[in-house]
Amino acid sequence: MKLENIDIGDSIPSFFREGKVEYWNRYAAVNDEFADHHWSDEVAQSEGFEKAFAMAPLEQAYMHNTIREWLGDDLRILLVNIRLRSPFVRDGKLEISGKILKKSFFENEYFFEAELNAKDEKDNLIATGLVSFSYPFLEEK
């Protein structure tokens, strides 16, 4: 992808994840975050949720993944600011999509701002995000 061809309003390719405890367990192990409402429907329901739900930092990581899967690992993610709207529940399906809001070029580096929206399979808004990232301009050889 040529960064100079990315324009304001362009869509960001969708990123998909399933709400599987196996995925959540790996994330929890790294972060030492084993709250019962992430594993037990019974506990989650006693707290007013439909069923067990994903950790907020994992949802934020998925927004990082959305940008990295699109543009690769050479970019610098400067900010990911999310607002949770609804829980991402176990066995659900998540789709994160977005669009470019701003683009600039400064000191041989492209800077972008994008909005991201995470929705489940029922089209419920799970989270919204604002992502800022930069990418160095590399001369083609």
Question: Using one digit for the tens of pLDDT, what is the confidence trace for 43-94?
Answer: 999 999 999 999 988 999 999 999 999 988 889 999 999 999 999 999 999 9
Say what the pLDDT of residue 25 is: 84
Q: Tell me phi and psi for residue 35, to 5 degrees.
A: -70, 135
Does residue 32 belong to any structural domain of this protein?
A: no
Interatomic CA distance for residues 111 and 128, integer angstroms:
20
Q: With pLDDT > 70 as the criterion, what percentage of the chain qualifies?
A: 96
**Helix axes of 21-31 and 56-71: crossing angle, nearest 10 degrees:** 100
Q: Domain range holding 130?
A: 8-19+54-136
* 82, 94 Cβ separation under 8 angstroms: no
The pTM for the full model equals 0.89
How confident is the model at residue 139, as a pLDDT? 60
pLDDT value of position 141: 47
Query: Within a domain: residue 103?
Result: yes
Tell me which amino acid residue 132 is: S
Q: What is the mean pLDDT of residues 6-35?
A: 90
Residue 61 lies in a domain: yes
pLDDT, position 84:
95
Q: With contact defined as beta carbons under 8 Å apart, do 129 and 59 qualify?
A: no
φ and ψ of 8, to 5 deg: -60, 135
* pLDDT, mean of residues 30-48: 90
Q: Is 31 domain-assigned?
A: no
In a domain, 85, yes or no: yes
Asked if residue 121 belongs to a domain, the reply is yes
Answer yes or no: is 2 within a domain: no
Residue 41 belongs to a domain: no
CATH of the domain at 90: 3.10.129.10
Q: Is the pLDDT of residue 140 over 60?
A: no
CA neighbor of 120 nearest in space, from 57, 71, 54: 54
Counting the structural domains of the chain, the total is 1
